[in-house]
Amino acid sequence: MEPITLDFISSLYSKYSKDLAAVRDAQRSFLQERGKSMKPQLDDLEAEITYLLVREARPANVVEIGTFYGWSTTWLLSALRDNGVGQLHSFDIVSTVTQNVPAELSEGRWTFNQGDMRESLGKVPETDYLFIDADHGAKFARWYIDHLFPLMRSGTPTSVHDVFHGKRTLPFTEGAVVTKWLADKKVEFFTPSAAKDPESNRALTKLKGELGLTEPVRPTPDNPMIYFLMP
């Protein structure tokens, strides 16, 4: 996959706009149907970008660290379904997600592993896309940088949630640890965060308007996720 930049993401929006429109409609309906039993974490841009990157990468195996209620899980599974190939391997301490993911999305393409991720490394398959949205403390970030990241091949698309709710990362947080690691490795990242990169946020919002993707799925503005390719 080519570097994850605004231009690349914009090209994916145009390339997959029709499929994305259908998934957005489905996710909006799904969220309304689930009501209080679904507490979505991803905002619209970061959910859509995740979907688009999985579509383009066509991964055989996606690894999801942290599922919570399953909002990200359903976006990832939708991308694998639309690709017609690929498996999602999800890890979380709690199993709430299993009550929310529709069978038509999960059947034949999803494995949920309940337990502490630090005791589950042996269950991590050869990974083609890595998605992390779990414990946001510095300690867990240092753990996965030391133990999980070395299992990833160079060039593996990776996303980490809740990094840029503000212009800068907060000290002693996952975001601070991960962005320092990326800087040390001289790895560029992309974020649609309204606080960190308002220009990219505005550009993608404008493009979505041009593509007719204007009705919000989850009307929240932060989009704090970062995306990068493993060094």
pLDDT at 145 over 90: yes
pLDDT class of 38 with cuts at 50, 70, 90? confident
What values do phi and psi take at 136, rounded to 5?
-100, 20
Query: Which H/E stretch holds residue 215?
Result: none
Q: What pLDDT sits at residue 220? A: 92
pLDDT at 193 over 90: yes
pLDDT at 101 over 90: yes
Alpha helices in the chain, H assignment, sequence order: 6-15, 17-34, 44-57, 71-83, 103-106, 138-147, 174-184, 198-210
User: Cα–Cα distance between 60 and 54 in angstroms, integer?
Assistant: 10
pLDDT at 36 over 90: no
Give percent above pLDDT 70 in the chain.
100
Q: What pLDDT sits at residue 39? A: 87
pLDDT at 31 over 90: yes
pLDDT class of 78 with cuts at 50, 70, 90? very high
Average of per-residue pLDDT across 97-123:
95
pLDDT at 189 over 90: yes
pLDDT at 198 over 90: yes
Average of per-residue pLDDT across 182-190:
98
